[in-house]
């Protein structure tokens, strides 16, 4: 699966295409590991891979890599893994987000990783990763950066929902507000309450 993750980083945003959120379950039923999401933050890259276990439940695996001086991605390393408790044959599990919300954290992990940033002590920092289940009515995800001292305070990024599972990665000091949006013609309207997520360290 590390090779799948590396290919996903090399492909970048083109790895996930519109409509692929509806293809995740069939691919899992066929027993193939699937890239659910890719998160790239400067020279750091993270990939969420999901696969079906022998007992029929879905498990996630998180991989990460760094770019070398030439801008190429190094080999991916496995960071963490967990059972999501979702059975691929139970499509309702991906349609109905827990608690009736539009966004719900279904797993999280933290690891001390080599980031190479100037702020990192000896090059290592605690990195928090969240896997979020997205409601079926959501067509777009909007992410606002509210980190203190951010170079772009209030900076905003939006992306079409291409997977029922999205990955959020927080370096120390990072604070994000994540909103789910529903398309209404040529406009988007917010559905549910925004999700505030923080790193484990200020």
Round to whole Å and give the CA distance between 114 and 97: 33
Task: Report the alpha-carbon distance of residue 164 to residue 84 in Å, rounded.
Answer: 13
Token representation of residue 100:
């009736």
Per-residue confidence band for 62, with pLDDT thresholds at 50, 70 and 90: very high
Task: Supply the pTM of this predicted model.
Answer: 0.86
pLDDT of residue 20: 56
Yes or no: say if 31 and 46 are a contact pair by the CB < 8 Å rule: no
Q: What is the pLDDT of residues 104-148, one digit of tens each?
A: 888 999 999 999 888 888 889 999 999 998 888 888 899 998 887
Residue 26's pLDDT is what?
A: 61
- Tens of pLDDT, residue by residue over 4-40, are 999 999 987 555 555 556 566 566 666 788 888 999 9
Mean pLDDT of the chain: 82
| pLDDT surpassing 60 at residue 102 | yes
**Is residue 94 scored above 60 in pLDDT?**
no
HSE-up (13 A, CA, CB side) for residue 82: 12
């Amino acid at each position: 699966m590390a090779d799948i993750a590396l290919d996903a980083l090399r492909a970048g945003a083109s790895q996930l295409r519109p409509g692929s959120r509806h293809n995740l379950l069939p691919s899992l039923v066929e027993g193939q590991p699937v890239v659910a999401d890719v998160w790239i933050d400067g020279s750091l890259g993270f990939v969420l891979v999901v696969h079906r276990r022998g007992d029929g439940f879905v498990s996630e695996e998180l991989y990460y890599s760094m770019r070398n001086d030439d801008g190429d991605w190094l080999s991916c390393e496995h960071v963490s893994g967990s059972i999501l408790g979702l059975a691929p044959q139970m499509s309702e599990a991906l349609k109905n987000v827990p608690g009736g919300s539009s966004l719900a954290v279904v797993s999280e992990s933290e690891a001390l990783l080599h980031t190479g940033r100037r702020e990192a002590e000896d090059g290592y920092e605690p990195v928090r990763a969240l896997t979020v289940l997205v409601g079926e009515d959501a067509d777009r995800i909007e992410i606002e950066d509210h980190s203190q001292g951010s170079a772009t305070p209030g900076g905003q990024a939006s992306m079409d929902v291409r997977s029922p599972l999205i990955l959020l990665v927080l370096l120390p000091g990072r604070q994000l507000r994540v909103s789910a949006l529903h398309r209404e013609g040529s406009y988007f309207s917010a559905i549910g309450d925004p999700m505030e997520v923080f790193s484990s360290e200020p």
